[in-house]
Amino acid sequence: MSEPREQVADKVREFEKYGPKFAKAIDAVLAGGVKVAIFLPSGRRVTTVVGRMGDEFLDPERPYCSCSSFFFQAQAGNEPVCYHLLAHRIALKLGRADTVNFSDEEYGDYLAATVHDVLEVLGKGGG
């Protein structure tokens, strides 16, 4: 049985300042939507968050997200973060990111599939 939503939210109240994005980010974490693919032996990482319409690609170090909210709101300075990046931060703090190891040989195919998913979401007008 998974932890109740409110119990999880209580553990990360410092992110509540992001308003409605906080609830959406908690839901993404509880759904197991934060994914980190680690390629070995290089250690390259590909991070995605499953959004309402599909996978969004993240680069948490920059920070960057492929969603339209990040493009139109965060990069314009209207919002500090999208809910996908917030979900990633919360998942890391709680140790709830779904991490899967792959071989370096699988990197190209994995990246191609991820880009395909992101383009599909963009084609739907989502993100």
Count of structural domains, the chain: 1
| 126 pLDDT more than 60 | no
End-to-end CA distance of the chain: 30
Structural tokens at position 81: 């973060």
Task: Give tens-digit pLDDT for 53-80.
Answer: 788 999 999 999 988 888 888 777 778 8
pTM score of the predicted model? 0.86
- Confidence bin at 6 (pLDDT 50/70/90): confident
Q: Which domain holds residue 68?
A: 5-123
CA 17 remoteness from chain centre = 18
Q: Is the pLDDT of residue 87 over 70?
A: yes
- Return the residue matching tokens 């839901």: 27
CB 44 within 8 A of CB 104: yes
Give the C-alpha separation, 41 to 31, whole Å.
29
